[in-house]
Amino acid sequence: MAEQPASSRDEFLTLPISIPPLPSFPVPTTHHIYLRRNAKVLTRDDKRSLFLVNVPVDSSEPHLRSLFTSLVGAGKFESVTFESEAKAAKSSIEPAQALRLASHQKKRKREEEEEAQRIKDEVAAEMPSTWTRPLHRSGGSAVVLLADERSVEIVLKAVKKLHKSKQYPVWGEGVGDKAPALGSTWLKAHNKLVYPGNAAMQAVVDAFFTVYNRKEAEAERLARELRNEPDEDGFVTVTRGGRVAPARMDEAEEAKKKMLERQEKRKDETQNFYRWQLREKKKAEQAAFLKGFEEDKNKLRAMREKRRKVQPDT
C-alpha cells in the first residue's frame, strides 16, 4: 500500500529524507519530517514560513538550507528558528533585535546610547556557550522562513512529488564544513570550552557586576519614588532605614507590588460602587413595574365587580 503524503486530519505533509550510514550505526535509514504552513499568522513573515515537526536531533541551519536547496533550488530558504531558540526568545529579546527596536523609538541620543550600552553589558554578562553545535530533542520542531509566499507553495508541491519519484534527499549532503562536526571532535571542543581561561571569566564577572549594580541603583530609585506613595488611608509608610536610606531590590519590588494592589483595589471599589447603583436602579424599576401591575389588577377587578352589580331589565 502506497504511503500517503498528507494526513487529512492535521494537513501535515511527510518529507522523507535518507540518513546515510555512520560509523556508530552503519545502516542507511529513512527519517520522516512533517511540515505544513505555519498556523500562527501573527506577522507578515508568518505567511511565508513552514512549521516542521520531528526534525533530526543534529539539525542545523546549513543542514536545512541544503535540504530545501535540493528540493526547490537555491534562493528560497532564508532562515530557521528551532524550538529551543524560540523559547529563549520569549524570555529575552535578542541583542540585534533590541537595538533595532530601540532605534525606532523617539528617544534622545543620550538615552539611545545608554540603552545600547545596557544591552551590550547584559550580553557580555552571559556565560559563554560550551558547545560548538547544539543538539535538539527527539521529535523537536522548527519554523523555516522562506523568501516569499510563493516559495511555500513550491516547497509543498516538491514534497508531494517525492512520494512518486522515491528519490529522497540525503541528509547532510552538501553541508561540508559549514556546520561543526560531531563525534570526538565535538566532545574535544566541548572540553576546551568548559575552561575558557581566567581572562575570559574575569570579563564575564565584571560585566555581571556592572549589570547588577545598575539594577540595584534602579531599585533604589524606584524605592524612593514608592516611599512617597500614600496608602488607601493617606499615610506614607516609613520602611527600615528611614525614607532616604537605600533599599534592597526585594523591598522595592514589594513596595511596587503593594502600590499596584492598592490601585487595583481602588479601581475595583469604584466599579463595584457603580454596579451597586445599577442594581439599585434595576430593583427600583422592578418594584415600580410590579406596583403598576398590581394597580392594573385592582382596577380590572373593580370594573368586573361593578359590572356584576348592574343587572339589565327583563
Q: How far is the C-alpha of 121 from the C-alpha of 211, rounded, in Å?
A: 6
Span 255-262, mean pLDDT? 78
Specify the higher pLDDT residue, 268 or 21. Answer: 21
Same domain, yes or no, for 143 and 250? Answer: no
* Structure confidence at residue 188 (pLDDT): 92
Q: Give a yes or no: residue 292 inside a domain.
A: no
Same domain, yes or no, for 136 and 78? Answer: yes
Span 152-176, mean pLDDT? 90
pLDDT band at 38; cut points 50, 70, 90: confident
Tell me the pLDDT tens digit for each residue of 40-85: 777 777 889 999 999 999 999 999 999 999 999 988 999 999 988 8
Same domain, yes or no, for 169 and 254? Answer: no
Same domain, yes or no, for 53 and 163? Answer: yes
Q: Give a yes or no: residue 74 inside a domain.
A: yes
* Structure confidence at residue 260 (pLDDT): 81
Same domain, yes or no, for 155 and 48? Answer: yes
Same domain, yes or no, for 57 and 158? Answer: yes
Q: Specify the number of domains making up the chain.
A: 2
Report whether pLDDT(177) > 90: no
Same domain, yes or no, for 86 and 156? Answer: yes
pLDDT band at 5; cut points 50, 70, 90: very low
Q: Of 117, 145, 180, which residue sits at a domain end?
A: 180
Report whether pLDDT(228) > 90: no
Q: Give a yes or no: residue 268 inside a domain.
A: no
* Structure confidence at residue 81 (pLDDT): 92
* Structure confidence at residue 140 (pLDDT): 92
Q: Give a yes or no: residue 81 inside a domain.
A: yes
Same domain, yes or no, for 176 and 211? Answer: no
Same domain, yes or no, for 18 and 150? Answer: yes
Domain, as residue range, for 37: 13-93+131-180
Span 27-39, mean pLDDT? 92
Q: How far apart are the first and last CA of the chain?
A: 101
What is the average pLDDT value for the chain, to the nearest integer? 79
pLDDT band at 239; cut points 50, 70, 90: low
